[in-house]
Structure 1
Amino acid sequence: MLAAGIGAGAINAVVGSGSLITFPTLLAMGYPPVVANVSNNVGLVPGGVTGVLGYRRELDGQGRRLLRFGTASVLGSLIGGLLLLLLPETAFRIIVPVLIGLACVLVVAQPALNRRLADRRKNPHHGGPLLWLGILGAGMYGGYFGAAQGVVLIGLLGVFLDDGLQRINAAKNVLSLLVNTTAAVLFVFIAPVDWTAVAVVAAGTTIGGYVGARVARRLPPPVLRAFIVTVGVVAIVMLVREGV
C-alpha cells in the first residue's frame, strides 16, 4: 500500500491518475469499493500538497486565475462527492472513458489548436465562462471518482489558455488538490473512512508527490504531452475493463 501511494503521488504530480494505482490496491487488499474510494481520496491529499510545492515556480503570476478556477473546482467536488454517496456506480460508466478520451485528444491537438485559436481568444488569461464550466464538470468527476481528472484538466486548460504546458500542469496540480481536499473533508464527516489505509497511502503520496514534481518540471513539453496521453489511454482501458 505504501509503494502504491508513492507511485500514485508521483503520477499525480506529472499528470494526475494516481488513483489507478492506489484504488485497485486497496480493493485487492480486501477493502469494500466505497471505503477504498473514500479512503484513497483522503490519502491522496498530502501528495497533492507536495506536488504543488514542487511546482511553485511555475505558479508565479497565476494567483488570480487560480482563485477563479478554484471556486469551480471546490463547488464541483462537493457535487461529485455527494453523487458518489447518492448514485449507483453505474451512472458514470459510459461518460468517464469518453471524457478521458476527449481530454487525450485535446492534449495531443493543443499546439495546433492554440495556433488556430490565438487570434480568436477573448480571454487568453482565464478562458472565459466555458472554461469555468468545464472545470466545474472536472471537479464533479474528481469528487465522484477522480482517476485521470488531471488529464481532463490539462486538456481543458491547454485549449482555453494561452500558456506553456508546465505552467498549465502546475495549475492542474492546484485544482486537483482543491478537488481532493474538498471531497476528503466531505467524506470525513459523512462517509466510511479507514484511517489505517489513509495513513499509509498519505505517507506514500507525500514522498511521491514531491519526487514526481521534480521529475515532471524537467520534462520537455512533447515528452510530458506523450506521457499524459499514455496515462490517459491506460486509464480508459482500465476503467472500461473494470466497469469504472
Structure 2
Amino acid sequence: MSVWEVLAVLAAGVGAGAINAVVGSGTLFTFPVLLAIGIPPVTASLSNSIGLAPGSLTGAWGYRKEMAGQRTRLLRFGAMSLLGAITGGILLLNLPESVFTIVVPGLILLACVLIVFQPRINAWMRTRRPARPNGGPLLPFGVYGAGVYGGYFAAAQGIILIGLLGSSLDEDLQRVNALKNALASIVNTTAAVFYIVFAQPNWLVVALIAAGSVVGGYLGARFGRKLKPLALRILVVVIGLTAAVQLLLT
C-alpha cells in the first residue's frame, strides 16, 4: 500500500472505532476504503473484523459505568452472541456474499423503526405485562441472530442490537447502548479469533484498523456517554438509514 492508502485505512479505523462505540456500523467506514484500495471483499471483511475487535473492547470499557447491575444480562446474552459469531464466521467462509446483502438492509430498517418507536413500544408493553428485566424468552434468539450477522459482516450490528434490546428491555437508552457495546465486543473478538485460526487476513490492514479503532473507540465512548437519549436515538436512526441506503446501492 502507498502512504496515502495507509493513512486512509488508519483514518477509517479511527472513524469506525468511534462510531461503533456511539452507535454501531463502523464497518461502513472501513469496508468501502478496503475495497477501494483493491482488497478482495472476503479478505477485506475478515481483516476488518479482526482489526475492529480491539476498538470494540475500548468502547465497551468506556461504558463500564452504565453496565453496573447488568451482569446477568451480559452472561445470558453474551453466550448467545458468542455462538452467533461462530455461526456467522462459518457462513462467511462458506456462503456467497450475495446471501446476506439481500436481507441486511431490511434488518437495519427494522431496527431503525424499533428505535424510533421504542418509548411507545415499552409503554404499551408495560400495560400488557409486568416489566421483564431481561426482555423475555425470545430476546436471546434475537441476540443470537444479531451475533450471526455480526460474525458474517458486522456492519450495523450495533444498530440491530440497539433496536432489539431497546424495544425489549425496560431500560435507559444509554444503558442499552452499554450492553450493546459489550455484546458487540464479544461478537467481534470471537469472530477475530475464528478468522485468525481458519482464514488468511491481510495483516497490514488488520494492524492499521486495530490501531485506529482503539483510539476511535475511546474517543467515541467519551462522546457517546454525554448524549441525551433523544439525541442518541436520532443519531442511531440517521446512521442506520445511511447504512441501509449504502448497502442497497452497493
TM score, norm. by length of structure 1: 0.97
CA distance, structure 1, for counterparts of residue 129 and residue 163 of structure 2 = 16
Q: Secondary structure at the match of 2:167?
A: helix
The one-letter code of the counterpart of 1:35 is T
The one-letter code of the counterpart of 2:92 is L
Q: 2:128 aligns with which of 115, 120, 131?
A: 120
Range with bigger deviation, 80-89 or 164-173: 80-89
Q: 2:92 aligns with which of 84, 105, 109?
A: 84
- Is 1:70 matched up with 2:89? no
Q: Secondary structure at the match of 1:124?
A: coil
CA distance, structure 2, for counterparts of residue 43 and residue 119 of structure 1 = 44
Q: Secondary structure at the match of 1:147?
A: coil
Give the deviation of 1:122 after TM superposition: 5.2
Q: 1:196 aligns with which of 185, 193, 204?
A: 204
Q: Secondary structure at the match of 1:128?
A: coil
Q: Structure 1 regions of 5+ residues with no counterpart?
A: none
CA distance, structure 2, for counterparts of residue 46 and residue 21 of structure 1 = 16
Q: Deviation per CA, 1:97-123: give whole Å up to 9, x if none.
A: 111000000000001111111133456
Q: Deviation per CA, 1:29-56: give whole Å up to 9, x if none.
A: 1111111101000000110111011101
After TM superposition, the runs of 4+ consecutive aligned structure 1 residues lying more than 4 A away are none
Q: 1:238 aligns with which of 235, 246, 249?
A: 246
Equivalent residues of 2:107, 2:160 under 8 A apart: yes
CA distance, structure 2, for counterparts of residue 123 and residue 150 of structure 1 = 24
TM score, norm. by length of structure 2: 0.95
CA distance, structure 2, for counterparts of residue 90 and residue 212 of structure 1 = 31
- Is 1:180 matched up with 2:188? yes
Cα distance, 1:147–1:208 mapped onto 2, change above 3 Å = same
CA distance, structure 2, for counterparts of residue 166 and residue 155 of structure 1 = 13
Q: Residue 107 of structure 1 corresponds to which residue in structure 2?
A: 115
Q: Deviation per CA, 1:67-100: give whole Å up to 9, x if none.
A: 0000110001111110011111111122111110
- Is 1:161 matched up with 2:169? yes
The alignment-based identity, stated in percent, is: 58
Equivalent residues of 2:59, 2:221 under 8 A apart: yes
CA distance, structure 2, for counterparts of residue 184 and residue 57 of structure 1 = 26
Cα distance, 1:217–1:29 mapped onto 2, change above 3 Å = same
Equivalent residues of 2:131, 2:170 under 8 A apart: no
Q: Residue 10 of structure 1 corresponds to which residue in structure 2?
A: 18
Length, aligned pairs only: 242
Q: Structure 2 regions of 5+ residues with no counterpart?
A: 1-8
CA distance, structure 2, for counterparts of residue 184 and residue 209 of structure 1 = 17
Q: Residue 227 of structure 1 corresponds to which residue in structure 2?
A: 235
Please give the residue correspondences for 1:201-212 in structure 2 after superposition, counting only pairs within 5 Å.
Answer: 201-212=209-220
